Structure 1
């Protein structure tokens, strides 16, 4: 069984212009980092012209489907019937995108099949992590 899930999603960038452009994005999950998800935007979809990847808690994404969540760099909230808003805050500015909630639910179901919520800690290799820390401390 694969340890990684990558699901393309269609995101709509919320901008000052009346028509929100659609941009591609990919949701990623890797059971080697079981508490986190990543959302990646390709270079052509960013102002800087480089790929941008945001990493945040899987739990934040799930909770944001039901109500407003997050107080830091990433915030998630439901919007309308089948949309979820993701806000990404950086010193350069804020990007706000809408994603179909059904796409996020499908992604979370796949991650839950790989690593059930609440059992993430079982994926962590604490002995290996501690050994790496001790090796680096020498």
Structure 2
């Protein structure tokens, strides 16, 4: 297995009307960058964030941050990922199990060996 892709349902936290649950793509490519994961957000417009896999793992247990990304547990079953830009903040709430399942899959992925 090389690239790991997993859809997860998430809630975009906003001051405006709640868009409800949206599909978010979680992606890990050990051939491209074995230390990072990517989250593709569909609203409000496509946004792609790449950050440390270790940050995501730490943030599921306790508040963690690196640069423009913050991750923390929210209650017993949810986690929040917060992305900061010059234009504002995007806050996304996930089920912790979905993120943990994704991380587990990334640890079993292996780079493709090219001869």
TM bin, normalised by shorter chain, reads: 0.7 to 0.9
Shift of 1:16: 2.1
Unaligned runs of 5+ in 2: none
Hey, what's the Cα distance between the residues in 2 that align with 1:20 and 1:79? Answer: 20
Hey, what's the Cα distance between the residues in 2 that align with 1:71 and 1:31? Answer: 20
Hey, what's the Cα distance between the residues in 2 that align with 1:82 and 1:20? Answer: 21
Which residue is 1:21 aligned to? Answer: 20
Q: Give the TM-score normalised by structure 2.
A: 0.88
Q: Give the TM-score normalised by structure 1.
A: 0.74
Q: Which has the larger radius of gyration?
A: 1
Which residue is 1:83 aligned to? Answer: 78
Greater relative contact order (CA < 8 Å, ≥ 6 in sequence): 2
Q: Secondary structure at the match of 2:72?
A: strand
- Tell me, yes or no, if structure 1 residue 64 matches structure 2 residue 64: no
Which residue is 1:73 aligned to? Answer: 68
Hey, what's the Cα distance between the residues in 2 that align with 1:8 and 1:85? Answer: 16
Shift of 1:52: 1.2
1:56/1:71 CA distance change after superposition, 3 Å: closer
Unaligned runs of 5+ in 1: 116-122, 124-138
Post-superposition CA distance 1:56-108 (Å, at most 9, x none): 00000000000000042110000011100000000111010100000001001
Q: Number of aligned residue pairs: give it.
A: 110
